[in-house]
Amino acid sequence: MFEFSLMGQRLGGHSGISELMDDLGQALSQSGAEVKMLGGGQPAHIPAMDERWASRFQEMLENREEFDKAVGNYDPPRGNPAFIAALAAMLRREFGWDVGPEHIAVTAGGQTAFFFLFHLLGGEMTDGTHKKILLPLVPEYIGYANQSVRDELFRAHLPRIEFTGEHEFKYRVDFDTLEIGDDIAAICVSRPTNPTGNVLTDEEIARLAALAKSHNIPLIIDNAYGAPFPNIIFTEATPVWHEHMILTLSLSKLGLPGTRTGIVIAHPSVAAAMANMSAIVGLSNPTVGQAIVRPMLESGEILKLSNEVVRPFYIEKSRFARQCVEKMFGDRFRYYVHRSEGAIFLWLWFPDLPITSKELYQRLKKRGVLIISGHYFFFGLDDAIDWPHRQQCLRMTFTMPTDVVSEGIRVIGEEVAKAHAEAERGNVP
């Protein structure tokens, strides 16, 4: 009906993240047993965590002044001052980071934080040059892909693949070929990595941080699943921050995705800019999540819940899903699973897949199993790079009930085996 601007077309058009969230929303609203939702980033409803959130709401209701402020007042654009002070104090106390309230800004979810950060640092500069965000390891988070309001904002680097078991592999940063030109504004990684569950080692993080510092650019670490909270990490990983880093945190994977609370820890100049961007775009940020969690930061309970409830829960979920893959896939076709080191996903690779991962997604959707085609996560690569691996992977979540996960994996195995059988008969173009 109306003509959209170039920015409107870019942000208002179809994208992988919009497909993911539409599938997720439809599946959760239907709540039918016929839908096996293995595609979204919806955290599990952990009974102990749900109970704790309910008790905090009750505490707030019993303290009407606290409740009224949480739902009836605007906070400053930077975030609730008491929440920010409590977080800074916890990070100094527990990790020895030289962090004060001036280093912290709250955003309306982690997705918003990255939209702000990418456009704060990348894009057209004052001298007319265009700078990009370097992704040193793909596949990388689907939610970054379409955030640019203008030109392509990312430059991605191919990983090194290391086989770690009969049906297991791991992506590594290929430092031997990694180059950082003058057109790079920042380096960005997620840890644990969404979609693969990869956890960059302390050594990899240190090398990336040193490279960033030597080029006077920041290393951005997306810590939505990482330490100190929610600490959905199954291997050794040291939380780290310094002023050449930008660290993002979130309350979503603790079990509060509906509160849309993102956190940025950065140099004061970056944190101040983030606050100004929040004011321009949304005046203020959601208050309820900050109000719920503030006393848990002050007491340290948030770390106890992360370490003793959230992390063990997802470790068991991961173990069960990997067992299902081994059982349901058998030896009917060649497959690999990325080593599950954190987050809430399994990353499956079918090296001989005779159809694309997008076609596999469509076949599975017809059978009521929703996954995410892996090709969405390989953005930022040169179009001239011919790498079939991009069309051979899919991401599935293991947060749903065990019967949903088990049945979904069974159907995935059936459809992959069916595609192989059709190819052998010459039925697949």
pLDDT, average across residues 352-365:
96
Position 172 confidence tier, pLDDT thresholds 50, 70, 90:
very high
Positive or negative torsion for Cα 356, 11, 259, 265? positive
pLDDT, average across residues 90-98:
96
Mean pLDDT taken over the chain: 92
Task: Tell me, yes or no, if the two domains 6-49+305-424 and 74-299 fold the same way.
Answer: no
Q: What distances in angstroms separate CA 190 from CA 141, 143, 175, 225, 345, one per listed residue?
A: 7, 11, 17, 9, 13
Looking at 215-356, list the stretches that DSSP marks H as alpha helix, in order from N- to C-terminal side.
Answer: 268-282, 288-299, 301-305, 311-329
> Pick the residue with more confidence: 171 or 429?
171
**Sequential DSSP letters for 336-366:** EEE---BSSEEEEE-TT-SS-HHHHHHHHHH
pTM exceeds 0.85 for this model: yes
Rounded CA-CA distance 42/38 in Å is: 9
pLDDT at 366 over 90: yes
* Fold annotation for 6-49+305-424: Aspartate Aminotransferase, domain 1 (3.90.1150)
> Pick the residue with more confidence: 90 or 147?
90
pLDDT for residue 25: 57
pLDDT, average across residues 234-259:
95
* Fold annotation for 74-299: Aspartate Aminotransferase; domain 2 (3.40.640)
pLDDT at 138 over 90: yes
pLDDT for residue 24: 53
pLDDT for residue 173: 97
> Pick the residue with more confidence: 237 or 151?
237
pLDDT for residue 35: 85
pLDDT in tens, 367-400: 999 999 999 999 999 876 889 999 999 999 999 9
pLDDT in tens, 201-236: 999 999 999 999 999 999 999 999 999 999 999 999
pLDDT at 14 over 70: no
pLDDT for residue 92: 97
pLDDT at 26 over 70: no
pLDDT, average across residues 402-414:
96
Q: C-alpha dihedral over 293, 240, 85, 294, to 10 degrees?
A: 10
pLDDT at 68 over 90: no
pLDDT for residue 146: 82
Domain ranges for the chain: 6-49+305-424, 74-299
Amino acid at 266: A
pLDDT at 429 over 70: no
pLDDT in tens, 278-331: 999 988 999 999 999 999 999 999 999 999 999 999 999 999 999 999 999 999
Whether the upstream peptide bond of residue 139 has omega within 30° of 0, thus cis, is: yes
